[in-house]
Chain A
Amino acid sequence: MIEFLVKRIATILPTLAFVSMLIFGLQQLLPGDPAVILAGEERDPNVVAYLREKLHLDDALPVRYGYWIGGVLQGDLGESVRTQQPVLDLIVQKLPVTIQLAVMAMMIALLIGIPAGIASAVGRGTAWDVGANAFALWGLSTPNFWLGILMILLFSVQLGWLPASGYVSPFENLRENLAAMIMPAFVLGNAIAAVLMRHTRSAMLQVLNADYVRTARAKGLSERVVVLKHSLRNALTPIITLGALEFGTLLSGAVLTEQVFTIPGFGKLIVDSVFNRDYAVVQGVVLVTATAYIALNLLADIAYFAANPKLRA
């Protein structure tokens, strides 16, 4: 396992270097002069010239990349040209919010998706199965944006139970924090739960038909032990992979859901920055997200070892 980990970690550094080049290069393909858009309505030529110089826009692409990556290696991700806030500060502000939303959404997805998948597989063809499949279809086909607005109209405008927006830090007021996060977490978790349910169901169906499960049943083991200990554990590998990928996606920011519920996370930050051509922010956020994604994949690999004894050999 250690050898495997060393090999995996050794691939991370070149991957990150490649990702940084990709982020930087792709962004330059965006049409429009960032200096012109950042110069605001007046577009004073002096301001445009100043911004071009400040952003090194007249330098060659490799030189500009050198300026940026040089700063990154020294822990300086630059500053937002639009708000003048350091990118690192913005990330430090947004990352806990995005992580909390991702964790809550993932918990909701796991709590709904896996039990529903198991119930559907075990009770194949029963009302449980039909119900779980209907839920999955609903989850997959409901746009987050629409569900979010409907939830606001119901729980905030009509019933007045939950705030429509207004993120509060959990360290400031946990109750208000949970009240503000529960709807966006559900909207996000709902869609992922549907995917998890479908995958859990198909993985479980495969495993439940396997010979060793028949053997376990023949040995007289209880159905609970057969399903949860012998079947689910073996079915978990693809579910872990999927969970890690979905969690990684959540960490890159849930753009529409964050917009609807005014959650100050990565999604809002990155979209606003792309439209405003605030390059330093886009590069910083995408780099952090990519790093998190790679780290999560590594964790998923480690989780395979824990879940599947065959891999430890």
Chain B
Amino acid sequence: MSLVSRSLAVAVAVAALGLASFATQSQTLRVGLGEDPDVLDPTLARTFVGRIVFASLCDKLFDIDEKLAIVPQLATGYEWSADSKSLTIKLRNDVVFHDGEKLDAAAVKFNIERHKTMAGSNRSGELRPVASVDVVDPTTVKLNLSAPFTPLLAALADRAGMMVSPKAAKAEGVNFGAKPVCSGPFKFVERVAQDRIVLERHAAYWNKANVHFDKVVFTPIVDATVRLANLRSGQFDVIERVLPSDIEGLKKDKNLKVARITEIGYQGITINVGKSEQAQKNPLGKDAKVREAFELALDRAGIVQVVMDNEATVGNQWVAPNNAFYAKNVPVPKRDIARAKALLKEAGVPNPTFTLVTPTTSDAQRLGLVIQAMTREAGFNVKIQSTEFATSLNMADKGDFEAYVLAWSGRADPDGNLYSFDACKQPLNYAGYCVPEVDELLNASRSQRDPGERKKTFEQIASRVLKDRPIIYLYHRNWLWVHTAKLTGLRSIPDGLMRVTGLKMAAP
């Protein structure tokens, strides 16, 4: 073999190796997260970012689609009893956990009971109405409820519906979250805290034809600018929670694509109307007229433009205006400074002063400043107190605030955005709002299965709660994912979580 042909052979081999390594690399999906997830046990998990990882790791009984409809995942269907006090779920019979164990009705019973009884479970509240679980046959399970509870299906489309391997859960006990074993499209490989979570393809996945990657690697990068720089340099294929201010610049980049969907949560201002004595010491907490004047002084479209670079939908309720349960009888109020001034005059406080607590994030601080400037025109004197999140939460818990900028990531069922915040003595009712008639309506909505009937109840709730204004809802942010243009199949689901099934990387 001559020197030339030998060199050619070497060059071809090197090129082949290079291509092979490229092919291997292209089968790994690299995801940039906004923070490091908490424990990877669906029963104990608490954070939004953890749910992004779970979407690849742990399948649920149900899922939600682009229109927020409940669709089967591990289940094939469900049926409510006539009195709405039991839910019968039919299961797929081709599901195996990552450890090879089969998912059946007994495994579902084990999981629901684990969610309900495990010490420190964050799911016990969501499943409180479930009194017992019956295994009807290997593919049928019946959940018996103490009282009708329509939001149960939505809970089963989130972490409460995630199924883990009973064998692994029993073996690992409280340490299960360090090596989670579920039945999702990818199985757990390793986790290095603050560095990476590595998952690899579950060969026996029931929907494996729709899985086009061998591995998924999640890397947390807190700073959004750095996260984006990593995407641009090719370190990531897709990143979450991009800054709205970066979107304009991304439009010019042909190598990247933006995916957006309106969140199911909201950004709002919680007002202390009865949490502590402080509520009666400031005009905003004491008088509903002052709260109405405050809301009328706000220009929501202007806020969305300045604070969110238009990457949000203006709203005035716990669900966005495009939600099927949005109460159309209470539309978004227009800014009306004259009316706001008149209301303040009626209330006898033409220049009310109060302190607005905001988190230290840049968008929350911007929001505080815009609100301060806008409401000044009506006569308000808003003082801004920028406070670190854990501290501000503690203040809210104790009722040591007058108004508080607080966002909620949202739940698929409106009940998840409403009950805990507005029903008497609920854990997230920082406003201290408590009206027995509202409680009655809220409880009624939980037992109604007919969407039309429920919608009417929500309209009744809206007409009362939005008049009392324990929370002034401002807007619903867009979930902003940015990915390489080669990545296709990214679905825009309103919960803001990326589904890996169906994602595909185009050939280079």
> Residues on A close to B: CB < 8 A?
30-34, 36-48, 50-51, 54, 80, 82-85, 90, 93-94, 149, 152-153, 156-157, 160, 163-167, 259-260, 262, 264, 268-269, 272, 275-277
Contact assessment for B235 and A166 in the assembled complex, using a CB-CB cutoff below 8 Å:
yes
- State in angstroms the CA–CA spacing of A264 and B195 once bound together: 5
Contact assessment for A260 and B390 in the assembled complex, using a CB-CB cutoff below 8 Å:
no
Q: A82, A84, A259: which contacts B174 (Cβ < 8 A)? A: A84
Shortest B163–chain A CB gap in Å is 20
By a CB distance below 8 angstroms, the chain B residues around A269 are 193-194
Contact assessment for A165 and B394 in the assembled complex, using a CB-CB cutoff below 8 Å:
no
Contact assessment for A37 and B194 in the assembled complex, using a CB-CB cutoff below 8 Å:
no
Q: Which residue of A lies closest to B176 (CB)?
A: A84
By a CB distance below 8 angstroms, the chain B residues around A94 are 193-194
Contact assessment for B428 and A156 in the assembled complex, using a CB-CB cutoff below 8 Å:
no
A41 with B48: in contact, given A149-B226, A164-B229, A165-B219 (CB under 8 Å)?
Answer: yes
- State in angstroms the CA–CA spacing of A93 and B192 once bound together: 7
Asked if B58 is at the interface (CB within 8 A of a chain A CB), the reply is no
Asked if B221 is at the interface (CB within 8 A of a chain A CB), the reply is yes
Asked if B302 is at the interface (CB within 8 A of a chain A CB), the reply is no
- 25 A/B residue pairs, CB under 8 Å, sorted by A: A31-B388, A31-B390, A31-B394, A41-B46, A42-B46, A45-B427, A47-B120, A80-B193, A82-B39, A83-B36, A84-B177, A90-B193, A93-B193, A149-B225, A149-B226, A152-B229, A156-B235, A164-B235, A259-B226, A260-B223, A262-B219, A262-B220, A269-B193, A272-B35, A272-B36
By a CB distance below 8 angstroms, the chain B residues around A80 are 193
Contact assessment for B194 and A268 in the assembled complex, using a CB-CB cutoff below 8 Å:
yes
Contact assessment for B233 and A157 in the assembled complex, using a CB-CB cutoff below 8 Å:
yes
Contact assessment for A43 and B428 in the assembled complex, using a CB-CB cutoff below 8 Å:
yes
Q: Which residue of B lies closest to A161 (CB)?
A: B233
Contact assessment for B393 and A264 in the assembled complex, using a CB-CB cutoff below 8 Å:
no
Q: Which residue of B lies closest to A40 (CB)?
A: B46
- State in angstroms the CA–CA spacing of A162 and B137 once bound together: 57
Shortest A187–chain B CB gap in Å is 13
A164 with B125: in contact, given A37-B390, A83-B177, A275-B389 (CB under 8 Å)?
Answer: no
Asked if B287 is at the interface (CB within 8 A of a chain A CB), the reply is no
- The tally of residues in B whose CB lies under 8 Å from a CB in A reads 53
By a CB distance below 8 angstroms, the chain B residues around A43 are 427-428
Contact assessment for B232 and A157 in the assembled complex, using a CB-CB cutoff below 8 Å:
yes
By a CB distance below 8 angstroms, the chain A residues around B235 are 156, 163-166
Contact assessment for B120 and A164 in the assembled complex, using a CB-CB cutoff below 8 Å:
no
Contact assessment for A83 and B39 in the assembled complex, using a CB-CB cutoff below 8 Å:
yes
By a CB distance below 8 angstroms, the chain B residues around A149 are 225-226, 229
Asked if B100 is at the interface (CB within 8 A of a chain A CB), the reply is no
By a CB distance below 8 angstroms, the chain A residues around B225 are 149
- State in angstroms the CA–CA spacing of A290 and B379 once bound together: 53
Contact assessment for A40 and B36 in the assembled complex, using a CB-CB cutoff below 8 Å:
no
Which 10 interchain pairs have the tightest Cβ spacing? A40-B46, A264-B195, A32-B390, A156-B233, A32-B394, A31-B391, A164-B233, A44-B125, A37-B390, A164-B230
Asked if B439 is at the interface (CB within 8 A of a chain A CB), the reply is no
Contact assessment for B229 and A157 in the assembled complex, using a CB-CB cutoff below 8 Å:
yes
Q: Which residue of B lies closest to A258 (CB)?
A: B194
Shortest A160–chain B CB gap in Å is 7
By a CB distance below 8 angstroms, the chain B residues around A82 are 38-39
A262 with B193: in contact, given A32-B393, A44-B122 (CB under 8 Å)?
Answer: no
By a CB distance below 8 angstroms, the chain B residues around A260 are 223, 226
- State in angstroms the CA–CA spacing of A166 and B220 once bound together: 10
Contact assessment for B46 and A85 in the assembled complex, using a CB-CB cutoff below 8 Å:
no
By a CB distance below 8 angstroms, the chain B residues around A268 are 194
Shortest B178–chain A CB gap in Å is 6
